[in-house]
Structure 1
Amino acid sequence: MLKLAGAALVLFAGTMIGFMQAAKFAQRPRQIRQLIHALQRLDTEIGYGQTPLPEALARIAAALTAPVSTLFAEASAKLASGNGETVSVCWEQAFKAGWQATSMRPPERDTMLRLGETLGGSGAEDQLKHLKLAMHQLQAEEQAARDDQQKYEKLCRSLGVLTAALVVILMM
């Protein structure tokens, strides 16, 4: 009886690990899409609204869901604190601190960090060009993420169940 309960727990745990890994593959394209949407809003705020950057980032954060919204909210808070740091430094600190909570990978982070180097340091026209470039790069990453999702999501689920089943067989 105890072996059966242990086997059921191992099978359940292995299955859940597989499903959690598969969920990361499903979340990545959604989070990249949120980043693209956020950059489109930032493009509008800079190009048409001419909104101050801390306020624009706060508005964007309010329109997104966590964990992506946290990145923009943190950047906005750091800029609004007025402790003399540049936009680039605040942006980098916010994105490096909050990135672990996302399912995104280094290419997306690097794109956002490169964008942060140009925000606030040049004219609106130049910033808009860099925003468009970042959006195009993120769109390419989103397509790659969708391809990865199609390839590996089902594989992770199956692998979790099968690995747990193997452990149960070896235990018996």
Structure 2
Amino acid sequence: MQWIGALLFIGTTTLAGFDISKRLNERPKHIRHMKNALQILEAEILYSQLPLPDAFATIAKQVPDPIGSFFKHVKDSLAYHNNNLSQVWNWYLEELMTSSAFDTNEAEILKQFGRTLGQHDFNQQQKHIHLTIKHLDRELDDARDNQYKYSKMAKSLGLLCGLFIVLLLI
């Protein structure tokens, strides 16, 4: 019975390590998807001159989840409830934070962007989009560094911590 408990404990810590590694590996991908979404948004605003809900619908079709569903939810909320864009943006951004691998830095960058979205003319809005993309570039570099440094280590530490604790308790 003691060995079954030990194996379950080692399995749990190993799975925790793999989960941490998965989040480290997904963070750069999610940041790239958000950058892609912002570039699509820029094109839709400047060249197609679509209203924001229509631009969000276009983004939702072209960008994979969870970023695509974020823009779909924002679009739906604006279309059906006619709410304040900044409030809707922040509401669904909190949901995005739980379903994605974004860090608090990306959340703050996107919150700041949400405050400016739809508040300025085309040129100013383009500048805000470029600024947000620059900030996301910086976070992408940081995410890649963390992925390279810590992804394999998280997997190994999950297993090794489980083994160490089991050996201490036996």
TM bucket (normalised to shorter chain) is over 0.9
Aligned residue in 1 for 2:5: 6
TM norm structure 1: 0.92
Q: Tell me the alpha carbon deviations over residues 103-161 of structure 1, each in whole angstroms, 9 at most, x when there is no partner.
A: 11111111111111111111111111110110111011000011111111112111101
Quick one: which amino acid aligns to residue 93 of structure 1? W
The answer on 1:138 being equivalent to 2:167 is no
Question: Of residues 156, 161, 164 in structure 1, which corresponds to 2:162?
Answer: 164
Question: Of residues 121, 126, 130 in structure 1, which corresponds to 2:119?
Answer: 121
Q: Tell me the alpha carbon deviations over residues 25-84 of structure 1, each in whole angstroms, 9 at most, x when there is no partner.
A: 11111100110000010011011111111111122112222222222112111211243x
Shift of 1:5: 2.2
Aligned residue in 2 for 1:59: 58
- Shift >3 Å, 4+ stretches: none
Rounded to whole Å, the distance in 2 between the matches of 1:25 and 1:126 is 34
Structure 1: give runs of 5+ residues left out of the alignment. Answer: none
- After superposing the two structures, state which structure 1 stretch, 60-69 or 24-33, moved more: 60-69
Shift of 1:166: 1.1
Rounded to whole Å, the distance in 2 between the matches of 1:106 and 1:14 is 25
Rounded to whole Å, the distance in 1 between the matches of 2:98 and 2:169 is 35
User: Counterparts in 2 of 1:79-158, with a 5 A limit?
Assistant: 79-83=78-82, 85-158=83-156
Q: Percent identity?
A: 33
Q: CA RMSD in A?
A: 1.4
User: Counterparts in 2 of 1:24-43, with a 5 A limit?
Assistant: 24-43=23-42
Native 8 Å contact 1:75 1:95 kept in 2 = no
Structure 2: give runs of 5+ residues left out of the alignment. Answer: none
Aligned residue in 2 for 1:69: 68
